[in-house]
Amino acid sequence: MVKYITAILILTSVVWAQQFEYMGTHKCKACHSSAKKGAQYKLWKETKHAKAYDLLLTDEAKQIAEAKGLTNTPDKAPECLECHTVGYGVGGYEVKEAEFWSPAEDDRKGKKAAKRMENLKNIGCEICHGPGSEYKKKKTMEAIFAGEVKGVDFGLLEVTEETCLKCHNKRSPSFKPFDYETRLEEIAHPYPPDMK
Ligand code: HEC
Ligand code: HEC
Ligand code: HEC
Ligand code: HEC
């Protein structure tokens, strides 16, 4: 019986794992902007991560792409989007046609989709913390914070050096040596001391 229940639990968590979706950084902004709680969104917005997509529109980027013999411009090349957007190729950012970006005034669904996609540009929260569809619910976030449930069961990942090394490595055409402790400090957005 115990075995049977365990099997069901494992199966459901496998199904769940496939259901975690990328929401876009604007979804995290709503609850992570208060100064009393550390204003993580504001601190993130001040980092270079928040502008990493724009780099793909520069002349420097175009030169890198040409030198690599890419036929697409960098903002449309999988070889670049992989490290300059959230979840490219795995349910996150996608290259879209012009119509997608300017939906009709009364097209609410289209507007939502465009806003989500806009907020999947750059190195957003979900790149490091995981796709947010399940953990972003207030009750779930509070339960994770309180240690009542495990974040990972809801898609909230543990951030480690490995998380950074997916992008900060020699496959980056402009690779700079990466010292984890120093770099971590530069993007820090901790809770205020009284919250811990
Ligand atoms: C509905 C509000 C809400 C939304 C939306 C939300 N959060 Fe949270 N989050 C919270 C609350 C509440 C906590 C508990 C700490 C606190 O009070 O700030 C928390 C805690 C966290 C923690 C720390 C968890 C821990 O281990 O203690 C992380 C990381 C986090 N959120 C990331 C995100 C990211 C990334 C997003 C966007 C995908 C997001 N949150 C969206 C409300 C929210
Ligand atoms: C999805 C890819 C990706 C991941 C994952 C990632 N980064 Fe980055 N990071 C970038 C890109 C792209 C830039 C360049 C932004 C720029 O120069 O405008 C960058 C820039 C930075 C910078 C600024 C460097 C400078 O020249 O000022 C720091 C610091 C940094 N990252 C730290 C980290 C840390 C720490 C982690 C892991 C916790 C991490 N990054 C994870 C892609 C990533
Ligand atoms: C493996 C991940 C990765 C890939 C793939 C990648 N980048 Fe980057 N890119 C980064 C990171 C990380 C940085 C920050 C500098 C560093 O430490 O490498 C960066 C920085 C840049 C910069 C700023 C240059 C600078 O001196 O800081 C430009 C421009 C850029 N990338 C363009 C591109 C283009 C164009 C492509 C596609 C041909 C591309 N990147 C592919 C990760 C990547
Ligand atoms: C480049 C990776 C990266 C990005 C992007 C990122 N975070 Fe984090 N975040 C971290 C790391 C590393 C920690 C340190 C705690 C840990 O190990 O999880 C952290 C901690 C947190 C915490 C808990 C603070 C604490 O003191 O424990 C919250 C809340 C949080 N992040 C929210 C966000 C939100 C909201 C965004 C987007 C606006 C975001 N993060 C973007 C890497 C990232």
Give the pLDDT confidence score for residue 103 in this predicted structure: 97
- In this predicted model, what pLDDT tens digit does every residue of 175-186 receive, in sequence order? 999 999 999 999
Q: Residue 4 pLDDT > 60, yes or no? A: no
State the distance from the centre of ligand 1 to the C-alpha of 13, rounded, in angstroms.
21
State the distance from the centre of ligand 3 to the C-alpha of 104, rounded, in angstroms.
34
Give the pLDDT confidence score for residue 19 in this predicted structure: 82
Altogether, the residues listed in the chain come to a count of: 196
* Ligand 3 atom with least separation from CA of 166: 1
Give the pLDDT confidence score for residue 161 in this predicted structure: 98
Nearest one of 118, 50, 120, 115 to 82, comparing CA atoms: 120
List of residues 6+ apart from 14 with CB closer than 8 A: none
List of residues 6+ apart from 176 with CB closer than 8 A: none
Task: Report angle CA 101, 92, 47 to the nearest 5 degrees.
Answer: 85
Give the pLDDT confidence score for residue 10 in this predicted structure: 53
Q: Chain-wide mean pLDDT for the chain?
A: 93
* Ligand 2 atom with least separation from CA of 123: 1
Pocket of ligand 3 contains residue 175 by CB under 6 Å: yes
Pocket of ligand 3 contains residue 60 by CB under 6 Å: yes
pLDDT category, 196, cuts 50, 70, 90?
confident
State the distance from the centre of ligand 1 to the C-alpha of 167, rounded, in angstroms.
24
What is the best residue among 181, 189, 191 to mutate for testing ligand 4's pocket, by most ligand atoms within 8 Å of CB? Answer: 189
Interatomic CA distance for residues 126 and 111, integer angstroms: 21
- The answer to whether 157 touches 128, Cβ cutoff 8 Å, is yes
- In this predicted model, what pLDDT tens digit does every residue of 88-125 receive, in sequence order? 999 999 999 999 999 999 999 999 999 999 999 999 99
* Ligand 4 atom with least separation from CA of 187: 1
* Ligand 1 atom with least separation from CA of 24: 38
Nearest CA to ligand 3 atom 39: 80
Quickly count: other Cβ atoms within 10 Å of residue 178's Cβ: 14
